[in-house]
Amino acid sequence: MAFRNAGTQEVAGQRFAVPDEWLFDAKIAWLPVPGADAFTFHLDPIRDPNEIPAHLATVEAPDDVCRSGQPQIMRVACGREHSTVRVQPPYEKVFPEPDYDVAWDYYSIGGSSPGTQPSKLQVAFCSPIEPNPARPKGTAICTSVWAVDGVVVSLGFEETELAKLPMMRAKATQMLRSWKVG
């Protein structure tokens, strides 16, 4: 496969030939700055070079993001916890802190045996955002995190797109794998 204007990005000892038109190098004030050996790409083609893409995926080394005491979504992405629950509806919205409605999680619910609780897999964490240049109407922004072949991928999306989460994760994974060198 030929890569047009592909620059090589290296994360966790892996190399990716990412076409320039998919990289997102700008800094957004309200988003955390990824590590020096991380990169961010967008899932959808950019129509306006001044627009902030709706779906950004950041690829980082596990050593940069995996720590103790993290929520389930990070423990699974970092390989510290395993789950057989698939990322798919139905989703359960959970407010982990009572009376604190500015942060919530979504879980996929797995099957259970009679007399046992169903298994849950945290698939996203969310918080409301004020109107901004990327989302003029304001909304809730969510992040999903998972592992792909030894790197950790974080994907930002709007809460209203939760039903499309499995498709967005699959697309980001496929794009990343298609750029892998060696």
C-alpha–C-alpha distance, residues 169 and 161, integer Å: 12
Instruction: Tell me the pLDDT of the chain (182 aa) as tens digits.
Output: 333 445 789 999 999 999 988 988 766 555 556 677 899 999 988 777 777 778 999 999 999 999 999 999 999 999 999 999 999 999 999 999 888 888 999 999 987 666 566 699 999 999 998 777 666 776 899 999 999 999 999 999 999 999 999 999 999 999 999 999 98
C-alpha–C-alpha distance, residues 57 and 4, integer Å: 20
In the prediction, which pLDDT does 50 show? Answer: 73
| DSSP-derived 3-state class of residue 44 | coil
C-alpha–C-alpha distance, residues 180 and 44, integer Å: 19
Query: In 63-93, which positions are buried (b, 16+ CB within 10 angstroms) versus exposed (e)?
Result: ebbbeeebebbbbbbbeeeeeebebeeebee
In the prediction, which pLDDT does 54 show? Answer: 82
Domain ranges of the chain: 22-175
Report the predicted TM-score, pTM, of the whole model to 2 decimal places. Answer: 0.86
In the prediction, which pLDDT does 179 show? Answer: 96
